Amino acid sequence: MSEKRTEISELGEFALIDHLNESIKIKNASTLKGIGDDAAVIDSGETVKVVTTDLLLEGVHFDLSYAPLHHVGFKAVAVNVSDVAAMNAIPKQITVSIALSNRFSVEAVDALYAGINAAAEHYGVDVIGGDTTASHSGLVISITAIGEAKKEQISYRSGAKVNDIVCVTGDLGAALVGLQILEREKQVFIANPDMKPQLENFTYVTGRQLKPDARMDIIHEMRDLEIVPSSMIDISDGLASELFHICKSSGVGVTIYEDKLPIDKQTFDTAVELGLDPITCVLNGGEDYELLFTIDQKDYEKLEKHPDIHFIGHVTNAEEGKYLVTKSGTTAQLKAQGWKHF
Amino acid sequence: MSEKRTEISELGEFALIDHLNESIKIKNASTLKGIGDDAAVIDSGETVKVVTTDLLLEGVHFDLSYAPLHHVGFKAVAVNVSDVAAMNAIPKQITVSIALSNRFSVEAVDALYAGINAAAEHYGVDVIGGDTTASHSGLVISITAIGEAKKEQISYRSGAKVNDIVCVTGDLGAALVGLQILEREKQVFIANPDMKPQLENFTYVTGRQLKPDARMDIIHEMRDLEIVPSSMIDISDGLASELFHICKSSGVGVTIYEDKLPIDKQTFDTAVELGLDPITCVLNGGEDYELLFTIDQKDYEKLEKHPDIHFIGHVTNAEEGKYLVTKSGTTAQLKAQGWKHF
């Protein structure tokens, strides 16, 4: 039709998404929040439903040469549950659509579904529908998750306030480092199929890449403690990138401290072995599926002793910018590279 | 892992889906209906939400050599809205995920989204989220639609009762005949690229294939007339196949009459030109996205004069079986071939 051809790469992925979203208008009163957070929020009487979806393609999001189908199924559910968690909601239902080529046997499909069902069991969600279809190329998985919360329990990206404390769960960088190890051993195997992959010293980091766990445990604990984070996001693209999202949505700045950033020993050692800077892995490694959130200072003492929540900094005025205070005490401007551009 | 390899083709697509569904257990009280109807139904206070999803792959579900991207986008929304309609619910929200290869320009993506947005406008739904990702092969579209209704308004496949009247909207077989024409002209074009496709006499049937319209008009009219169909399904796989679904879910039989089956003149003439039996096209042609439903006899006079609803038969006891009474008065057992095996 049009004479003009603009390459997607000229625009960039984020700009393309922004461009497409510009044309979207909200018409229904029940749509409380559309695009722009970890999940959409729709009115549901006393409660709200949150809705999130992910589309995963073989060769883009997972590599079956090292990812077992059981793990692929589990992870496909976990990444959606993580988005529901990031809204401070409880996941209840998922739909699962898959496209399969005839390369897959019934036993392979069973392994995939065993992982999906194990995750559904683990997170207490029901598989309520989906679509199963043929594919001429690889495996495609599309999952939509629906969660529930009271309206006042929802944590948007936009609620961070100056002086709030910045928290992260678990440890960071492991999934990226694990991916590098899996890719390295794959190349070794391709070069010499008689070589057995050396993975025994890397079980934590590879496990974090292959079978991440959404932090529903933290959501339930905070509910018990009657804490509603002022803002929250899950860490799928890297800590720095997610901090940028919260700062942009909330209209605030942030200062975080290098010595507070949580990193596992195996992640640190493996990063060094791979010639990567561990702190860069923590800041820009993706797919950890930990939670990044902010709390009001009054909630601090309720969480202070929590073994798996780390207080990494505080929220500032937007004009103060986004900074990392290094171990040596110098201050560096945060950059949101995102793990894809790593 | 397993030594055994069973081909999906050995099992068949429907058996595979049944096999996968066997492992699914429902845990949450808010899941009112899981797999097994046009959409799932989840509790939502005063109302219920219905949820349906479709995964569409280039080369499997659409062919960009003759389907304009605008139509592909529109149709992807319409087929999901049609599933919401088949539950007698009103669609409110959709999520849209797409995977794109670098073969697609920004202008091409814009055309696709223009179709998606036109359908969202047409059906009054909000695009509330989604995922945009890279693909190494063709275009993949995954849409999830969420609709709303009062609990007592939902029409399941399972509610047909003996002596109910069987109704279909619009006319049938056109989408299949349209597909045959598009495929024929594609082959002509491949054989001789200088030949211009001859489509001007086939605009109705090709339009039905390329840009079907979900029958929300009928749902709104029935709501105004206070009719709740005792059972309903949308015609995506062919009339006979959908009748089988209703009979199986409801535990009933059915008798339909050949002379009552609605077929457009262009569909009839084109089928004959293509050497196809028009009645076979009506019974087994898929993708018409019309509604098949049953009503109590007391509701008949409210719809009797409706220009676009056809009364094609009645519900019988299961033991009486599933029959077509031909124009010549003979009785033939219905077969559910489904259009894919056509």
In tens, the pLDDT along B290-309 reads: 999 999 999 999 999 999 99
User: How many C-beta atoms surround the C-beta of residue B51 within 10 A?
Assistant: 28
Cβ within 8 Å, pair A53-B125: no
Nearest to B10 by CA among A163, A69, A105: A105
The residue among B52, B106, B113 with the most chain A CBs within 10 A of its CB, best to mutate, is B106
Each residue of B29-68: pLDDT tens digit? 999 999 999 999 999 988 999 999 999 999 999 999 999 9
Mean pLDDT lowest among A229-233, A330-334, B190-194, B233-237: B190-194
Average pLDDT, chain A: 94
**Average pLDDT in the A158-163 region?**
98
pLDDT at residue B1, rounded to an integer: 47
Q: What CATH topology corresponds to B28-153?
A: 60s Ribosomal Protein L30; Chain: A; (3.30.1330)
B305 burial level (CB within 10 Å; 0-12, 13-18, 19+): exposed
Nearest to B51 among A23, A120, A129 (CB): A129
Smallest CA–CA separation between A95 and chain B, in Å? Answer: 7
**Average pLDDT in the A295-317 region?**
97
On whether any CB of chain A is under 8 Å from the CB of B1, the answer is yes
The answer to whether residue A291 scores a pLDDT higher than 80 is: yes
Smallest CA–CA separation between B106 and chain A, in Å? Answer: 5
On whether any CB of chain B is under 8 Å from the CB of A280, the answer is no
Nearest to A99 among B24, B57, B95 (CB): B57
* Alpha carbons A115 and A68: distance in angstroms, whole number: 9
pLDDT at residue A323, rounded to an integer: 97
* Alpha carbons B212 and B193: distance in angstroms, whole number: 28
pLDDT at residue A204, rounded to an integer: 98
* Alpha carbons B79 and B290: distance in angstroms, whole number: 10
The answer to whether residue B157 scores a pLDDT higher than 60 is: yes
pLDDT at residue A338, rounded to an integer: 53
pLDDT at residue A178, rounded to an integer: 97
On whether any CB of chain B is under 8 Å from the CB of A130, the answer is yes
pLDDT at residue A8, rounded to an integer: 87
B113 burial level (CB within 10 Å; 0-12, 13-18, 19+): buried
* Alpha carbons A170 and A263: distance in angstroms, whole number: 8
Smallest CA–CA separation between A129 and chain B, in Å? Answer: 5
Superfamily of domain A9-153: PurM-like, N-terminal domain (3.30.1330.10)
Contact B85, B79 (CB under 8 A): no
Cβ within 8 Å, pair B44-A40: no
The answer to whether residue A296 scores a pLDDT higher than 50 is: yes
| A6 neighbourhood in chain B, CB within 8 Å | 105-107
| B120 neighbourhood in chain A, CB within 8 Å | 24
Mean pLDDT lowest among A244-258, A326-340, B22-36: A326-340
The answer to whether residue B340 scores a pLDDT higher than 70 is: no
The answer to whether residue A341 scores a pLDDT higher than 70 is: no
pLDDT at residue A247, rounded to an integer: 98
HEC readout, A247-275: HHHHCEEEEEEHHHCCCCHHHHHHHHHCC
On whether any CB of chain B is under 8 Å from the CB of A283, the answer is no
Find residue B44's DSSP bridge partners: B47
Looking at chain B, the domain(s) classified CATH 3.90.650.10 span 157-341
pLDDT at residue B216, rounded to an integer: 98
| pLDDT grade for B342, boundaries at 50, 70 and 90 | very low
Smallest CA–CA separation between B304 and chain A, in Å? Answer: 33
Looking at chain B, the domain(s) classified CATH 3.30.1330.10 span 28-153
Nearest to B23 among A117, A124, A138 (CB): A117
Q: Among A129-133, A137-141, B212-216, name the most confident range.
A: B212-216
User: How many C-beta atoms surround the C-beta of residue A221 within 10 A?
Assistant: 16
Q: What is this model's ipTM?
A: 0.93
Average pLDDT, chain B: 94
| pLDDT grade for A16, boundaries at 50, 70 and 90 | confident
Domain A157-341 listed as CATH 3.90.650.10: yes
On whether any CB of chain A is under 8 Å from the CB of B174, the answer is no
- The two beta strands, B90-100 and B47-57, are unpaired
The answer to whether residue A339 scores a pLDDT higher than 80 is: no
The answer to whether residue B100 scores a pLDDT higher than 90 is: yes
pLDDT at residue B125, rounded to an integer: 97
**Average pLDDT in the B118-138 region?**
94
Q: What is the DSSP string of A25-69?
A: ----TTEEE-SSSSSEEEEETTEEEEEEEEEEEBTTTB-TTTS-H
* Alpha carbons B230 and A157: distance in angstroms, whole number: 44
Smallest CA–CA separation between B197 and chain A, in Å? Answer: 17
| pLDDT grade for B270, boundaries at 50, 70 and 90 | very high
pLDDT at residue B338, rounded to an integer: 53
Name the 3-class secondary structure at B26.
Answer: coil
| B113 neighbourhood in chain A, CB within 8 Å | 20, 23
Contact A108, A69 (CB under 8 A): yes
| pLDDT grade for A78, boundaries at 50, 70 and 90 | very high
The answer to whether residue B23 scores a pLDDT higher than 70 is: yes
On whether any CB of chain A is under 8 Å from the CB of B129, the answer is yes
Looking at chain A, the domain(s) classified CATH 3.30.1330.10 span 9-153
Is residue A131 a known part of a binding site? yes
| B31 neighbourhood in chain A, CB within 8 Å | 92-93, 126, 128
